[in-house]
């Protein structure tokens, strides 16, 4: 994930009646993350590799759970980082609170995979021959033959 700029306003500086959303960059409205089954086999990791062949996606591990992270902005997010359908927003948004929101999170994960090539390297490094990976199977593009030396 790209480096996130540090907010200049601190949540503890909120005045009575003031909303943290007035100072926020709306991180929570610019992605969604869904838990996925922990990938353990070659086939599982091939799915993960496929996920990352799609634009604006990542996979991360947090507290022994894996997640698919998709960077996509809510279509109702307005230019001022406010919700355009606030009064009719989905239940998940209604339950979300600024008490423990990610306003000042820096998004550091146990593991973060951002490209399908990283997944391929991770597979080769971690999957043993007996864990579902076919013997000799490599996910990297084969090396081309060497060019002849012309003298």
* Residues 76-120: tens digit of each pLDDT: 999 999 999 999 999 999 998 877 788 877 778 889 999 999 999
Cβ contacts of 144 within 8 Å, gap of 6 or more: none
Q: What span, in angstroms and rounded, lies between the C-alpha atoms of 57 and 91?
A: 24
| Pairwise pLDDT comparison (17 vs 82), residue with the higher score | 82
Residue boundaries of the structural domains of the chain: 28-126
pTM of the entire predicted model = 0.71
Q: In this structure, what is the dihedral angle of CA atoms 115, 65, 34, 43, given to the nearest 10 degrees? A: 60
- Burial environment of residue 89 by CB neighbours within 10 A (0 to 12, 13 to 18, 19 or more): middle
């Amino acid at each position: 994930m790209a480096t996130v700029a540090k907010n200049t306003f601190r949540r503890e500086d909120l005045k009575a009646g003031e909303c943290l959303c007035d100072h926020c960059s709306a991180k929570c409205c610019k992605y969604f993350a869904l838990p996925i089954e922990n990938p353990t086999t070659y086939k599982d990791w091939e799915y993960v590799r496929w996920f990352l062949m799609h634009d604006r996606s990542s996979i991360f591990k947090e507290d022994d759970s894996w997640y698919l992270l998709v960077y996509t902005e809510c279509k109702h997010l307005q230019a001022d980082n406010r919700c355009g359908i606030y009064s009719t927003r989905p239940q998940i948004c209604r339950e979300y609170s600024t008490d423990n929101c990610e306003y000042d999170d820096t998004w550091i994960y146990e593991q973060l995979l951002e490209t399908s090539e990283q997944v391929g390297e991770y597979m080769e490094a971690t999957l043993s021959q007996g864990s579902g990976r076919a013997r000799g199977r490599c996910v990297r593009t084969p090396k081309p033959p060497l060019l002849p030396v012309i003298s």
